[in-house]
Amino acid sequence: MDRSDTSDLTDLRWHWEDVYRIDYDYRDGHWSAEPLHGQPGTRTAPTAMELRLKIRDDYAERRVREQGGAG
């Protein structure tokens, strides 16, 4: 993991640690976000930026479902 990856991991965790468990697998270079509180749907991506986008989309979809909206 290089300095940029470390910075990205720290940033993702700071923003999302209350909702997702964020990891970086240095062996294959993939990022993952596992929803907390027993919710299914682990998201994975080859870059931190792609994972960030997937997390945002997933979070928005979950909020819509929680509020009883279509989605």
pLDDT in tens, 28-44: 999 999 999 878 889 99
Q: Which residues, in sequence order, are CB contacts of 47 under 8 Å at separation 6+?
A: 31
pTM for the full model?
0.85
Cα dist. 17→20, 22, 27, 69, 71 in Å?
Answer: 5, 7, 22, 25, 24
pLDDT in tens, 1-30: 789 889 999 999 999 999 999 999 989 999
Measured in whole angstroms, the distance separating CA 33 from the mean position of its chain's CA atoms is 3
Place of tokens 């986008």: 53
How many whole angstroms separate alpha carbon 9 and alpha carbon 31?
9
Beta bridge partner(s), residue 29: none
